[in-house]
Amino acid sequence: MFRALPLGERLWFYRHAVEAGCIASVAEGVTAMAAAYARWRTEVWRQQPTRLREREWQRDQKRWRIARAKVPPGDCRYCGAPDVRGIDHVIPRSQGGTHDLANLVRCCDPCNSSKGGRTPEQWRRGEHVEVACKT
């Protein structure tokens, strides 16, 4: 899309642009070209974080699938309900928790949904936790 010209070609281009009346001076042409290049770089960099976030999300999903398969079956860690299939992060992902096996426990749906994004201690005390959205 954007091709940098060698210095000789750029000066030739700007000199002819001045003669044709398209720009007032060579300096104006250099400024316009620098602005065009800056806009192009901004567009390229604006697209990059989306790709990086997508790649990070895919990596997290793979880690989650592997970790989920390794959590042993059992009773709900919080209320003792028998044979639950749900999994909960002891330290929530919103508070820096990971998909490590040490951070995952079996949990029934009612306990998991009422616990939400809180640690077990915060949940038992009934604290409300404000978590800033990661962007």
Beta partners for residue 58, in sequence order: none
Instruction: Note the pTM of the prediction, 2 decimals.
Output: 0.52
pLDDT of residue 1: 44
DSSP string of 93-108, one letter each residue? GGGT--S-GGGEEE--
Q: Residue 74 has which token pair?
A: 């059992």
Task: Give the mean pLDDT of 96-102.
Answer: 86
The DSSP code for 126 is T
Give the range among 41-50, 53-62, 65-74 with minimum mean pLDDT.
Answer: 41-50
pLDDT greater than 60 at residue 103:
yes
Please report which confidence band the pLDDT of residue 37 belongs to, taking 50, 70 and 90 as the band edges: confident
Beta partners for residue 84, in sequence order: 74
**Is 114:86 a contact under the CB 8 Å cutoff?**
no
pLDDT of residue 116: 87
Task: Give the mean pLDDT of 64-81.
Answer: 86
Residue 87 CB neighbours (<10 A): 15
Please report which confidence band the pLDDT of residue 91 belongs to, taking 50, 70 and 90 as the band edges: very high
Please report which confidence band the pLDDT of residue 107 belongs to, taking 50, 70 and 90 as the band edges: very high
Please report which confidence band the pLDDT of residue 76 belongs to, taking 50, 70 and 90 as the band edges: very high
